[in-house]
Amino acid sequence: MQTSHITLPNMGCGTWAWGNRLLWGYDESMDKQLQAVFDLCVSNGVTLFDTGDSYGTGRLNGRSEKLLGRFFREYSGSNKENICIATKLAVYPWRLTRKSMVRACQCSAKRLGKNVDLVQMHWSTANYAPWQEWALLDGLADLYEQRLVKGVGLSNYGPKRLKKVYKKFADRGVPISTLQVQYSLLSTYPVTQLGVKDVCDELGIRLIAYSPLALGLLTGKYSEKDSLPRGIRGLLFRQLLPNIQPLLSCLREVARSRHKTMSQVAINWCICKGTIPIPGAKTVEQARENIGALGWYLDSNEIAELDKAAGSVDKTMVQNIFQTK
């Protein structure tokens, strides 16, 4: 079995996401607030920050990575030595060679002002352009071999594709540290149907759960009667909310008995399933609430109740179109 050379925060330390949600509605006046979020997280042992080179494009021009790098440099409290900054490299159609992935990571490092700790392939092209993928994967492995990163990971890969990449990397002596998939009480598909967690456990890969709050649906802050988000997100909420009330009721009851919030229970459920959940936070209040998901565990009966409620939902979150099998 391969062993990872990168040290990821353990469950007791907690984890965090720093991604595109951070930049929705972003303007520069938010910088101080975001620095406060970063500082609070790290001081509470939350030391894994996940972003991507496609987060903050256009006028924002890589803003997410730039902010993370600045916050890292300016932070002077405890746990700084444990901070792990992970970024995902987008598989743009103009990235066709292994050198293009190396250059992309070097650009991320320049924006961060430091080397990337964990570099990840943002998605697989297997569903639409499989010929493009292998050269880019070679570039990902090159980054590790050249010691430009401490570890490499994948995102939106299913078990079959993961095993192929694992073998290719193993032949070069390059360990795969992590795999990211969309996973929550409203998106159990990668684990329950694809079986990706079992494969990750077999291969020694840590499974990262992105969108553990299902875009906010599992926070309990939305109802059919309330004003919903605009655009596609609001349309999705209108389709799902009528069907997920039993799950939300179960989540609410567990939260009440635990003296926790629904968000905290939903995040803790992901932790209890052996994954690293990476919820986002734009405000100190959101950060404090998410930190409250750490340091305790749901019991087996609570997990079984939540599993049953999740399994009874007719309509679940739409899966990422790049998710492979």
Catalytic annotation, residues: 55
The answer to whether 43 touches 80, Cβ cutoff 8 Å, is no
Length of the chain: 325
The answer to whether 14 touches 294, Cβ cutoff 8 Å, is yes
Residue 19 and residue 202: Cα distance in Å, rounded? 29
50 forms beta bridges with 86
Residue 15 and residue 44: Cα distance in Å, rounded? 10
Measured from the Cβ of residue 38, the count of other Cβ atoms closer than 10 Å reads 24
Measured from the Cβ of residue 196, the count of other Cβ atoms closer than 10 Å reads 25
Q: Print burial letters for 41-70: b (CB count within 10 Å at least 16), e (below 16).
A: bbebbbbbbbbbbbbbeeeeebbbbbbbbb
The answer to whether 120 touches 141, Cβ cutoff 8 Å, is no
The amino acid at residue 320 is N
Which H helix or E strand runs over 315? none
